[in-house]
A and B are shown apart, each in its own frame.
Chain A
């Protein structure tokens, strides 16, 4: 890996603000980012990257290569939870329901890790395609289906939970805020193109880095508090899983990238997506579909262990992997 990428990632303001939030939470600081404000920041960031991706897509000819990439990403998102499930069952001695719910998080993606990776690529002058945003949004869903199949394997048909209604899980999975905002902004960026973007650029492009710092400060606080509150439910095997599973996913995806002939930027982003773990869309879906699973296990792992690892050491490693398979 070029040490410059690692150093510039680790010393970038976004990573340092994340570290500040993480340390503050671990030291039990009372610092908080107001909840509604943090949600607003998340929507802003998703709108910004969706719009940017859409504008880039409006200048690209979408061919069969892209379809192949979508299929490969869907297979990855569906297949990685199977691997994660068996790793958790064997390595962390986790029960079937918790292993399946956690595995689902590791097939799905973290949009903040994706944003941080795009920033790291930009800092290094590496170009990536706008449609990777659509790939990110699409990869949220297959992992959830895979996790549900794994959890319900060999189970007798489960009794209906009072108050549940048909279609509520599908609504939660397909119409959750991140999928709607990302795909909606992507479509708006695609339709409005450069001319439209010019008008909103002062709001969505120039302040982006600063807003990302603020958001990552909050993510650091969330990760630290999650670790502090949930670590008792994790054994050594589970903690190690939070580190080695992203590396396994990254390795598998790197081989796939070579087969697909992706550019360096796109390969780095696909590897990052596969190595990241969800903490927005999947936890909400799992609380509806598998309420027996403990959120303190899967949220602590994805938000408290894997996210900090990916943000600090993972992203430079994934860029290196991409350089190896595309170079």
Chain B
């Protein structure tokens, strides 16, 4: 087993491409995006697909990275969620195949 870092970024859909550019620009080998159904934050409930602009929708991006990439990614993602609605979660995980991440 090998130690890696798991990043979970929940971000508003309009900023999704910005988040993708950050992940790709920092050299991560892969990430997966999932649509979020509904949630609550800042005193407001939100729900996927409430309006046609999709500007209230949220997406979750999950990425497993090597810890050497973390400092740069963390700085850029903090900047992104400083401007956009989002939450970043970082945790330690174990993986079977070291070379994949």
The residues of A with any CB-CB pair to B shorter than 8 Å are: 35, 38-39, 42, 161-165, 168, 222, 225-226, 229-230, 232-233, 279-284, 286-288, 291-292, 295-296, 299, 303
Contacts and interface: CB of A to CB of B under 8 A. Distances in A.
B15 A291 contact: yes
Contacts of B55: 283-284, 286-287, 295, 299
Contacts of A164: 18
Interface string B13-37: 0110111111001000000000000
Nearest to A278: B53
Contact of B50 (A222, A284, A287): A222
Contact of B44 (A287, A291, A296): A296
Interface of B: 12, 14-15, 17-22, 25, 43-56, 75-77, 79-80, 83-85
A163 B18 contact: yes
A65 B28 CA distance: 56
Nearest to A230: B44
Contact of A225 (B47, B83, B85): B47
Given A162-B22, A230-B44, A232-B43, A280 B53 contact: yes
Contacts of B54: 284
Contact of B53 (A281, A291, A296): A281
A74 B19 CA distance: 34
A279 B83 contact: no
A311 B84 CA distance: 33
Nearest to A287: B14
Contacts of B50: 222, 225-226, 229
B37 to A, nearest CB: 11
Nearest to B79: A162
A20 B93 CA distance: 50
B46 A161 contact: no
A288 B14 CA distance: 6
Given A161-B18, A161-B79, A168-B17, A291 B84 contact: yes
B46 A163 contact: no
A297 to B, nearest CB: 10
Contacts of B52: 38-39, 42, 222, 279-280
Given A232-B44, A287-B12, A287-B15, A35 B49 contact: yes
B51 A299 contact: yes
Given A38-B49, A38-B52, A291-B83, 18 more contacts: A35-B49, A161-B80, A161-B84, A162-B80, A163-B21, A168-B17, A222-B51, A225-B50, A233-B44, A279-B51, A279-B52, A283-B51, A284-B55, A287-B14, A287-B15, A295-B56, A299-B51, A299-B56
